Amino acid sequence: MFRFEDTSAFYLLALIPGVVLLFLWMNRKRKHDIRAFGEVNLVGRLLRGKIPSFLKIVLFSIAVLFLILSALNPQWGLKKEKVKVEKSDIFFALDISASMNAQDISPSRLEKSKRFIEQLINERKGDQLGLILFAGGAYLQMPLTADYAAAQLFVRSASSEMAGTQGTAIGESIDLAMRSIKEKNQRALIILSDGEDHDEEAVNMAGKAAENGWNVFTIGVGSAEGSFVPVMNDGREEYKMDEEGNPVKSVLNQNLLKEIAENGKGSYYLLGNENTDIITDLNTQLDKMQKRAVEVKSFTEYRSFYQYFLGIGIIILLIEFFLVTKLKKV
C-alpha cells in the first residue's frame, strides 16, 4: 500500500504554478529589455546559444515537484498483519413523520433529534453505525458502516419530506433493524420519536428484539403540552388540520416509548429543551455491551522513498544550472 507520511506539505504544490508564472513574467521582461537594447534580429543572433525559456521552466518545475514529493515522504507498505478490533453495532431509528416538525422542542422535534444523533456519533469510536428512517413505513437509509462522516451526512439530510406515508411505524423499524444484522451478538437500537401513534405491535417487537440480543433504547422527543404541526402549503407555512378543519395538536406519548424500552431491555430518555446528561448515561450503557471482534488487515511496517525523489530533484536542478552556464559561454 502506497501513502504519503506527511500530508501537511501538500500545500507546497501550489508553488509550482507560482514558479511557472514567475518564469513567464521574467521571459516577457527579457523580451522587453531586448527590444530596448537594439534591433531584435541582431540581438537574437548575439544570444543564439541561450537555453530556451520554456525548457528552463519545465526543468525547474519538475525539480520543484520532486523536492516537494520528497518532503511528503512517500512510503510503501511492506508488512501486512491482521489485527482484531472490538466493535459495537448500533442502529438509530429516526421518526420523520410530519408530527416531528412540531416546535414545542426548539428548533423542532426532528432537528433536535438529528443534532442529538450527530452529537452521539461524535462521542462514539470504532463502532459500526446504521440509520433507519420511519413514518408510516420504515426503510434502511444507511447500512452499518464505520464511516462516521457519511453517517452524519445521512442524518443531516433526513426530513419529513422523505416519508412516503404518514404514521409512526416503530414496530416496523425494530423488525427492519433485526433483519439487517444476521450475526448473533449484542446490539443496540436507539429510537428517537414522539411516539404519537399507538403502535402496540412495537412493544411486542421490542420484546422479540431483546430475545435476539438487542437492547432497545427509546428517546422521547416533544412535550406533554404538545404543539401544532406546521405544514407547507403553496410556499406558506400553515398548521395541519383534521377532518373538521381544526389544527392538529401533537403530544408526546411517553407511556408507549417507556413500554418499548422496558420490553427491549433498554432505557427511556426524555429529550427536551433543557440540557440533560442523556448522552453521558447512554454512552455508559453502550460501553457495557458485549462487543464483536472483527479482523482488520493493516500495514504495520513502511519503507520510505523520499531520498530517491530528493536525488532526482537535485539532479534536474544541476542539469538546468549547467545547461544555462554552458550556453552562456557559447
- pLDDT of 43 > 60? The answer is no
Query: What's the number of CA atoms in the CB half-sphere (13 Å) around residue 78?
Result: 6
Using CA atoms, how far apart are residues 127 and 20, in angstroms rounded to an integer? 48
Tell me if 130 sits within 8 A of 91, measured CB to CB: yes
Most confident of 25-29, 111-115, 326-330: 111-115
Can you give the pLDDT at residue 320? 76
Question: Does 289 have pLDDT greater than 60?
Answer: yes
Is 0.85 surpassed by the pTM of this model? no
**Burial (0-12, 13-18, 19+ Cβ within 10 Å), 297:** exposed
Output phi, psi for 127, to 5 deg.
-80, 160
For the cut 80, the answer to whether the pLDDT of residue 142 exceeds it is yes
Give residue 50's pLDDT band: very low, low, confident or very high (50, 70, 90).
Answer: low
Most confident of 51-60, 148-157, 317-326: 148-157
Task: Calculate the average pLDDT of the chain.
Answer: 83
**What are the φ/ψ torsions at residue 215 (nearest 5 degrees)?**
-115, 120
β-sheet bridge partners, residue 85: 294
- Sorted by where each begins, the domain ranges of the chain are 2-79+299-329, 89-290
Residue 197 grid cell: 401513534
- Distance from C-alpha of 30 to C-alpha of 16, rounded to nearest angstrom: 21
Per CATH, domain 89-290 is 3.40.50.10110: no
Cell of 186: 449484542
Q: What is the pLDDT of residues 180-229, one digit of tens each?
A: 987 767 899 999 999 987 667 899 999 999 999 999 999 999 998 999 99
- Within 10 angstroms of residue 45's Cβ, the number of other Cβ atoms is 9
Find all residues with CB under 8 Å of 69, minimum gap 6, and list them: 306, 309, 313
For cell 506539505, what's the residue? 9
- Please give the C-alpha separations between residue 235 and each of 59, 109, 197, 228, in angstroms, as whole numbers: 61, 21, 28, 18
Question: Which cell is 134 given?
Answer: 420511519
Order of all β-strands in the sheet with 74-87 = 2-4, 74-87, 292-304
Chain segment 171-180, per-residue pLDDT in tens: 999 999 999 9
